[in-house]
Structure 1
Amino acid sequence: MSEQQPVEETFISHLIELRDRLVKATIGIVVMCAALMLWPGPSRIYDILAQPMLNALPAGSKMIATGVIAPFLVPMKVTLLIAFILALPWVLYQAWAFVAPGLYAHEKRLVAPLVISSSLLFASGVAFCYFFVFGRVFSFISAFSPQSIAVTPDIENYLDFVMSMCLAFGATFEVPVVVVVLVRMGIVSVAKLKDIRPYVIVGAFVIAAIVTPPDVVSQFSLAIPMWLLYELGLLVAPVFVKVTQAPEEEST
């Protein structure tokens, strides 16, 4: 009974710690969301998000809202999404702080760079999608639209498209992290990853064809960065493995 009691207390203390970290992560998102609502505001944020689409439409064109509360709800969803992306480093830090006490020194050297790089790569993927891909995709689609069709996108459909594209590009930019983790955990070697490079390139174009609109511009915009980031992972993995080796691994 005396041995079981410390185990139960340890388990409860971990649950309390997990609750506290989740609360802190949520507070970070709420604070960021409140700041965005004050400035620049949900309406202005959605206007910025819609700008690539508006630039591709005829002068004076606007989007439409088919739902009664859509003009209010959609900008709020966008604000919450942007707040989560901006607060992602804080959220990942809370996850890191929760598991850090149980890690060895060399394991801490493994996790901290992954947390930082994951945040930066995801944000870079979203930024690449917004600043580079959207303008070219919408211009490409607009160029093939018949003159007899009045293009007036619905804001909810546009939000769904933007969120899916940003998520796809954000996840794609995590490829170097996946490569590094696979190599560091000993699941696959760098030499093996280099051998399967042709299959990875084909897979990148298949994935791009599935998750992007059926146009060449968006597919190449996703497939080529995915391949280049895979090559980056191959370059970084050996260095990362060497830096995060355990003492017993270094002596062997």
Structure 2
Amino acid sequence: MAKILEKLNSSIAAGVVLALIVLLAFNLKMLGMQIYWAGFFVFLHVVSGITWIGLLYYFNLVQIPTMPKIPAELKPAIGKFIAPEALFWFRWAALSTVVTGLIVFSLYTKAAPTMLIYLGMTLGLIMAFNVWFIIWPNQKKALGMVPVDDAAKAKAARTAMLTSRINTVLSLPMLYCMVFQRFV
């Protein structure tokens, strides 16, 4: 078991295999039915959303507040290795969340979704727009992936941080809408 857990790819593969076993064990009779596919895409939507919002909270609760405390000689490691990798998963999880969410919505349109789902979707779309068109372009400048002078780098870092905070603010009502809509 330790051999499987030592590598991230094999750990994820083990999780996928276990999920498929559960899926087949409990849903075999529903294969090909719309409810099966809706449930499958809800699962993908939730996993994508956890990744996206988890990274959003990591940036806002851990990385941003900790950066001023990190000695100057250690900061390049964050900017060169950790932040770019986290931002890769952050933006692709945002896209995956939106795509799977739209698929789920299309499969549930017969269920007459409430206004809460529309509000949650709108907030999520605003957040995804912010990720791809404001945060990511500014982070590329702030991290030195796009050459700019120090003043532009500082401005880009601040813009990315403030937009990330906007997403943090929007995430709470968005999550509330997405969860609570199932109960109305």
TM-score normalised to structure 2 length: 0.37
Greater percentage in helix: 2
> Which of the pair has more CA radius of gyration?
1
TM-score normalised to structure 1 length: 0.29
Relative contact order: is structure 1 or structure 2 higher (C-alpha 8 Å, sep ≥ 6)?
A: 2
